[in-house]
Chains A and B, each alone.
Chain A
Amino acid sequence: MSAMGQPISGRVYKFGDNVNSDIIIAGRYLIYIDPEELAKHAFEMLGEGFPAKLREYPILVAGRNFGCGSAREQAATAIKGLGIKAVVAASFARTFYRNAINDGLTIVECPELYTAVQEGDQVDIDLAKGRITHAGREYSFPQIPPSVRKILELGGLANYLKANTSTSA
């Protein structure tokens, strides 16, 4: 599976700043690593309607410092399990940034889009060109470093390791 190939299109759900990883998936569910199981409880701390309503949005948009707090990898896994194709944020916490790449979840840093977009808006992300289209306007975003992009292209670090490590005893 190539994470960089097809453009990602769809409606967005919008969060604010400092969405922490405890909110994304509570500590009591870290007994799971399966994306489907985690997705059942993703964002449930936010109350009624979550996580079900997020399944209608293929793209999450958030403000600064998305995924801050705990280094739990399952925050990225749970979002992927919801069927979300990409998270666009003004900025990411570094542990979430790494975990997303390692889980094969597409992440894009674009503060301008965060300011412009409203919940439910249509957004198109072209990863290869580093460009987002929204309401007739185009936004560019920085590409993930090429050495790291290989991990994302293979769908995550486990696949990357499988392909790149000599594992015979």
Chain B
Amino acid sequence: MGQTIAEKILAAKSGQARLAPGEIVDAYPDLVMSHTATWRSVSVMKRIGATRLYDPDRLAIVLDHVSPAKTEKYAKDQQTSRNFAREHGIRKFYDVDAGIAHLVLMENGHIKPGDLVVGTDSHCTIYGALGALGTGIGYTEVTSVWVTGKLWMKVPTTIKFVLNGRFGTGVSAKDLMLYLIGKLGADGCGYKSAEFQGDAMPDMSISERMTVANLAMEMGAKCVFVPPDARTAAYLRERLEHFENYQPVLADPDATYEQEVTVALSELEPMVACPHQVENTKPIGEVVGTRIDQAFLGSCANGKYEDLEIAARILAGKRIDPRVRLLVTPGSKRILLEAMKSGVLQTLIESGALVTNPGCSACAGDGGMMADGEVSLSTANRNFLGRMGSNKSSIYLSSPATLAASAIKGAIADPREFM
């Protein structure tokens, strides 16, 4: 009987020939990522009296959630993280200028197919865009992996998503994922792996695959996979230090899936997640006209270059509604540079956008906080109560195209009107 990608990767990382769902193994991750939370893991290390790391080259540290430091406390915590990285010779250390950890690690060739990656962030599932098993853990467990090199993992069952056809105009990976989260619910993939296959996949850009793998976390996925293909290889050829070791891990044709979900992409329309749960999704038609005070274009879900470009295409030559604050946060320094060179940044600024430095920004409450009664439209992945400020404010989630159209109108708008 064949195996899924999750089964194969967990078997390889725990020294087993094969594994079945439900088995518990000690697995050795290739990479353990910690972001702004790093100081907490350092404090645990001190508390347990550990001084040595299992392998410093398996650590990646990116200071992204609050960048630069907004208070003295943040400054002190970042100093702790920096000192730790220096002391232990962590080569994959990125400071507050780099951007969002997930994007930075992928852009810089630290993630490859078949890798097991854990980190202090639920959206580690995004690494599945490149065929790696990524999953979130807490900061104490990060310390444990730093020191012991391993952690216990349960082999998940897998849901197969079959995506067929092409997106219609104004519809993108974000709309697909909001549709799926609404359909399956916030725990539709709970404790499970999700594999995305189908004839739509070869055409899907790496940027869109990242959106897919990122958002699948919002239906509870433990890990997500877009099976590596020619696009994956092309993306990694220019990034991996040793591309000659590139070896995709694919599911066997006779692998066992718990469930199969088929989606015809051409039938999808722009979707919006309404307050205060991501699963509370509606087709755009049902929310058009909802007034917004703030529009946030950014995050690991949709702060990539392609996302900025899509918004810029809609905003080019237009002005946003004067009642709207449009915040644009490029996901990483590389994205910022690319958007600068291509003119995307200028287009956005001329339309009325406030462009911030790369990082998690408003999605993590680092700037862009909202007052009582205010409404934000956001391209991020969460709209939980109070996540962007007051517990009397509300957050809607959409694609970059819907966000750009809505910023112009001052209310949630259908992007197809502008295309």
Contact = CB atoms under 8 A, between A and B. Distances in A.
Contact of A69 (B51, B52, B135, B384): B384
Contact of A26 (B37, B43, B386): B386
A71 B137 CA distance: 6
B49 A93 contact: no
Contacts of B248: none
A36 to B, nearest CB: 16
A137 to B, nearest CB: 26
A69 B144 contact: no
Contacts of B136: 71, 95
A69 B122 contact: yes
Interface stretch (A52-60, A128-136, A157-165): A157-165
A120 interface: no
10 contacts: A22-B382, A68-B220, A70-B122, A71-B138, A73-B138, A94-B222, A95-B136, A161-B48, A162-B49, A167-B51
A91 B49 contact: no
Given A23-B384, A147-B152, A167-B52, 15 more contacts: A23-B386, A65-B186, A69-B382, A71-B138, A72-B138, A94-B190, A94-B222, A95-B122, A147-B24, A156-B140, A158-B48, A161-B48, A161-B143, A162-B47, A167-B147
Contacts of A18: 186-187, 277, 279
* A-B pairs with lowest CB-CB distance, top 7: A73-B138, A71-B136, A65-B187, A45-B386, A22-B384, A71-B122, A99-B138
A76 B139 CA distance: 12
Interface in A28-76: 28, 30-31, 33, 45-47, 64-65, 68-73, 76
Given A72-B138, A147-B152, A161 B220 contact: no
A103 interface: yes
Interface string A136-169: 0000000001011000000011100110010111
Contact of A165 (B135, B147, B190, B382): B147
A102 to B, nearest CB: 5
Interface string B39-58: 01001100111111000000
B384 A20 contact: yes
A82 to B, nearest CB: 18
Given A28-B365, A65-B220, A47 B187 contact: no
Contacts of B139: 33, 73
Nearest to A20: B384
Contacts of A11: none
Interface of A: 17-18, 20, 22-23, 26-28, 30-31, 33, 45-47, 64-65, 68-73, 76, 91, 93-95, 98-99, 102-103, 145, 147-148, 156-158, 161-162, 165, 167-169
Contacts of B190: 65, 91, 93-94
Contacts of A70: 121-122, 382
B364 interface: yes
Contacts of B74: 31
A45 B391 contact: yes
Contacts of A99: 138, 140-141
Q: Which of B24, B154, B186 has the most CB of A within 10 A?
A: B186
A166 B144 CA distance: 12
A23 B384 CA distance: 8
Contacts of A20: 382, 384
Contact of A103 (B71, B120, B140, B147): B140
Contacts of B37: 30
Nearest to B364: A27
Interface in B130-157: 135-141, 143-144, 147-148, 152, 154
Interface string B13-54: 000000000001000000000001100100110011111100
B138 A102 contact: yes
Given A18-B277, A94-B222, A157-B140, A68 B186 contact: yes
B6 to A, nearest CB: 13
A167 B49 contact: yes
Interface string B220-241: 1010000000000000000000
Contacts of B48: 158, 161-162, 165, 167
Given A68-B186, A71-B120, A98 B50 contact: no
B187 A93 contact: yes
A1 B190 CA distance: 31
Given A93-B220, A161-B143, A23 B122 contact: no
A108 B75 CA distance: 39
A94 B191 contact: yes
Nearest to A100: B138
A25 to B, nearest CB: 11
Nearest to B77: A31
B42 to A, nearest CB: 11
Nearest to B382: A69
Contacts of B277: 18
Given A31-B74, A65-B220, A148-B152, A161 B144 contact: yes
B144 A157 contact: yes
Contact of A102 (B71, B140, B154, B365): B140
B187 A91 contact: yes
Interface in B107-131: 120-122, 124
